[in-house]
Structure 1
Amino acid sequence: MNGKLHSETGPTFSADDMRAQILNPFVHKLELDNTYDKIRTAIFTVILLPFRVIVILFLIVTAWFLACIGLYGLTEDDLREKPMTGWRRSLKPLICFIGKMSYLAGGMAITVRGRQVSRKEAPILVVAPHSSFLDSCIVYATKMSSVIVRKESMDNYVGKLINYTQPVYVWRDDPNSRQNTIKEIIERATSKEDWPQVLIFPEGTCTNRSCLITFKPGGFYPGVPVQPVTIRYPNAKDTVTWTWDGPGALKLLWLTLTQVHSSCEIEFLPVYYPSEEEKRDPKLYARNVRDVMAKALGVPVLDYTYDDCRLIAQAKQMGIPGGAFVREVSELRTLLGLTRTQPELDLARMGVQEQTRWVSAQEFAQRLGVPHDSRLLRLYKIFEHRTLGMVCFPDYLLCAVFLSIPHVTVSQLLEYAFKLYDTTGTGRLKMHNFEEVATRCLGLSHEEAQNTFRQADLDEKGYLTYEDFMSFFQNESDFSLNFIEAPQKKVQ
């Protein structure tokens, strides 16, 4: 496995390939969908989970205690000035062993393939895909390589263990944080001192491992050789994926610890030696390393970024229809040519009458003025009502408005929504129509929307106009504070 790789390897999946299949790397669905799984999980929760938790806690506390001993007498400045030596460094293999045992105690076996090269051969380890908090096992598998971590994350007892890796700190409050982080990575990677290898997750956020998203170039600025490292979880039930739309950390941890057995595979790929062109262009270097890793994993690449995650989270928080899929909606609208003409804005301004709210795929294509082809059908399926087999056209238009207007604000969305969900065309929304608006633009529950309607309908007219609601929205400080009109980062 110890060979040389260059950019000539070439990409495995081109942008054109991806046009045939739109993926969403930020969605993970996990449910106990049969009686057997539910009964087995319940039994193991009682007889297996407590034992595993006790053993894991014991091992973590032991590792933490050893880290405290190793860090005794050292300040954070000391950790950043020079690498550990002597007895402090000799504790690392023991801490790594205990860390691996904590995973084994939880039922997860870690298998390592390939060979980790020395720092002299590759000062930087590039790890992907990043899909779970359980990916931290890579720290133990790589002999406690230096991770990149936010300084705020260190303010807890686990911080001692992280500090023992001599991490590269990211200071969120520092406006020059990105430049300073890159500078420190360069210094570490090119130093003649025996620092630990720097370990980076270049995707910068968690995905569901269906593809590799855009690699941030920070770890590629030094222009030194890197060793790609892949992580797989080849389990029958995926209880580890922790991404933007899916189960929370506690549920995943519970379901993982109640599995009889689970596994993680870590593979060290051959060292990637950059060309002169890649050394001059860190983004090109990052893309080519991603292509090599995607080929090894057998997955496509997708030019999604952390900003896309934020957009999805924002759309979901506000209740925008299709919020979890706004990145795919944006991509499909581009493929259909809708981002150039933006017919949805004109359609939204006119409003949608009751009799034309629900549309078939053919009607959907006709209203948008686009071909009734596979791209249109994929867009249609995102908004299709499972029972009716049709699309609520106002839902699609509101999502398109959210994507079409740069830095769209809540008040702008509300103005469009009041027209879209006004089935009478009078500019007056009754309670059930207002519920549709409030759940889609303000992220309110139906009960919260009903209570808000009653508060805003001061004269008890039984309806609200856009002006009525905005007056209430602006005057009720307690209500307004929950919906600060921050500009939205758009995907183009």
Structure 2
Amino acid sequence: MAEALGVPVTDYTFEDCQLALAEGQLRLPSDTCLLEFAKLVRSLGLKPETLEDDLDKYATRAMKMKKEKADLKEFSAYLEFPVSHTLESMFALFDENEDGIIDVREFVIALSVVCKPSKTLETIQLAFQLYQSENGTITEEDLGHILKTAMGVSQIDVTHLFRAVDEEEKGKITYDDFYRFAELQPHFAEDYLYPDQMVAESGLKTSSLSAPNGICTDFSPENAEDKNKPLQKKWN
């Protein structure tokens, strides 16, 4: 039908549309790489009907690994999938420093967003469990890693948000601190993460963060031809 109508054909699915348009508290920016990640998840063979169970399994394994990094072979064993072009592409997506190792906690956060795109706080709660210290707190640096991954961007400034949550200026916050803040400030992303990049369209606010596009193709028909180009690194 698309060809008959003379419009570009994309390989994004209905689930990708749900991810892009999800009404969670973290509105995905137009250049998010999570759409590309979602495609790789499907290509790898993870099934939508079992994705939440897979998420629980991988989260448990990541918690046991704590801060240990994984190379490609270890990532393959972690996922229980053989090394393939798809797996290599997914690994490259998280190989931020191009040093051949990744933090599997970032994979779990990305998978949680894809699995539950409208349930922002559930993803953030899981991320806190992955990053928190023994006393249940995370630092500003940790929050930066969490939100950068959850939004699929190459960089993000969380200083204003962290300071707003950390009312007692302890330099660390708990999930309860974040939850209470999010309940009072449901639009915290627009207000604290990218207030200068928000524009109004039809009464709704959408993000236009200018992070490098990297591996991710833009979720728009005019860029559909990019789908046949070789994959590049997400974070540069």
Give me the TM-score of the superposition, normalised by structure 2. 0.62
SS in structure 2 opposite 1:327?
A: helix
Amino acid at match of 1:360: D
Using the TM superposition, give the Cα deviation of residue 383 of structure 1 relative to its aligned residue in structure 2, in angstroms. 2.7
Larger-gyration structure (1/2): 1
The 5-angstrom pairing of residues 131-210 of structure 1 reads 200-201=5-6, 206=8
Structure 2, gaps ≥5 residues long: 193-203, 205-236
**Structure 1 residue 455 displacement after superposition:** 1.3
| Alignment of structure 1 residues 59-458 onto 2, 5 Å | 128=3, 200-201=5-6, 206=8, 212-213=9-10, 302=11, 304-305=12-13, 308-309=16-17, 311-312=19-20, 317=28, 322-333=33-44, 335=45, 340=50, 342-349=53-60, 351=63, 352-354=65-67, 356=68, 358-385=69-96, 387-405=98-116, 408-422=118-132, 424-441=133-150, 446-447=156-157, 449-458=158-167
Q: Kindly state the Cα deviation for residue 468 of structure 1 after the two structures are TM-superposed.
A: 0.5
1:269-321 alpha-carbon deviations (Å, 9 max, x no partner): xxxxxxxxxxxxxxxxxxxxxxxxxxxxxxxxx5x346524524769826998
1:182-207, Cα deviation, whole Å (9 max, x unpaired): xxxxxxxxxxxxxxxxx834x6xx5x
Query: Unpaired segments of 5 or more residues in structure 1?
Result: 1-125, 129-198, 207-211, 214-301, 485-492
1:470 to 173, 176, 179: 179
Alignment CA distance shift 1:389-1:313 (3 Å): farther
RMSD (Å), alpha carbons: 3.8
Give the distance between the partners of 1:385 and 1:443, measured in 2 at CA. Answer: 12
Secondary structure, aligned partner of 2:93: helix
Cα deviations across residues 117-136 of structure 1 (Å, max 9, x unaligned)? xxxxxxxxx663xxxxxxxx
TM (norm. structure 1) is 0.32
Per-residue displacement from partner, 1:247-285 (whole Å, max 9, x unpaired)?
xxxxxxxxxxxxxxxxxxxxxxxxxxxxxxxxxxxxxxx
Report the AA paired with residue 179 of structure 2: M
Deviation at 1:410, TM superposition (A): 0.9
Give yes or no for contact 2:32–2:152 (8 Å, CA) kept in 1. Answer: no
Aligned to 1:9: none
Instruction: For residues 98-137 of structure 1, give each alpha carbon's deviation from its aligned partner in whole angstroms, at most 9, with x where no partner exists.
Output: xxxxxxxxxxxxxxxxxxxxxxxxxxxx663xxxxxxxxx
2-structure distance, mates of 1:311, 1:337: 16
Q: What is the aligned-residue identity percentage?
A: 17
Conserved in 2, the CA contact under 8 Å of 1:312 and 1:326? no
Say if 2:34 and 2:151, in contact at 8 Å, map to a contact too: no
| Structure 1 contact 321–383 (Cα < 8 Å) conserved | no
**One-letter code of the match for 2:123?**
L
State the 1:430 CA deviation. 1.0
Cα distance, 1:434 vs structure 2: 1.4
SS of equivalent to 2:168? coil
The 1-side partners of 2:48 and 2:101 are apart by 21
Contact 2:166/2:173, CA 8 A, preserved across alignment: yes
Q: What letter matches 1:394 in structure 2? A: R
Distance 1:438 1:343 in 2: 21
- Contact map agreement 1:127 1:200 (CA 8 A) in 2: yes
